[in-house]
Amino acid sequence: QLLILASPELKQDRILKAIVFQYNPHTSELLFDLSFFKKDKNSALAAVLQHSGALEHATPELKADKDVVLAAVSQAGWALEFASPELKADKEVVLAAVSQYGWALEYASECFQDDDDVVRAAVTQAGQMLGYAPERLQDDPEVVRAAVAQDPKAIQYASDRIRNNPQLLQESEQA
């Protein structure tokens, strides 16, 4: 809070900005012009490694930079929300995001809502994501087992065939 009283020159000091951002990324934007984080790839990488939400404040070019976005979503999958549309359609980026935070599937390109690998990764992290899976995956014993292992309540989203025959889940586990 003392930084509010800092001189304009001190508030422009690049090293001070980096230190403040490192310790408190939420309030630092209110105190400083953080445009240097928005333009420079190395600064953006450092910023998203400290706080994945920094991706929200990056330039469109950096939101489209695969290295920057992967660094962010690998730590906090929800940061996929701020990625460029092109990277929301990149399977490697989406898998990294949903493997860290299953609900990130909501931010992924629609083409991944029906992708076996992506949905499996999502339900492994957040079993409730089974409710958003296509019917064919809600009827897949392996996918349902992964979802239920993460959250037993996810069984409600399984197909009738699986809910009415729990032995299917046991058989897929033994296979």
pTM over 0.85: no
pLDDT, residue 43, reads 74
- pLDDT greater at residue 42 or residue 22: 42
**Residues 6+ positions from 39 with CB-CB distance below 8 Å:** 59, 62
Count Cβ neighbours within 10 Å for each residue of 70-102 and write b for 16 or more, e otherwise. bbbbbbbbbbbbbbbeebbebeebbbbbbbbbb
Lowest mean pLDDT among 42-46, 64-68, 73-77: 42-46
Compute the average pLDDT of residues 71-98.
96
pLDDT, residue 170, reads 73
Q: What's the Cα-to-Cα distance from 73 to each of 67, 93, 134, 155, rounded to whole Å?
A: 10, 7, 24, 28
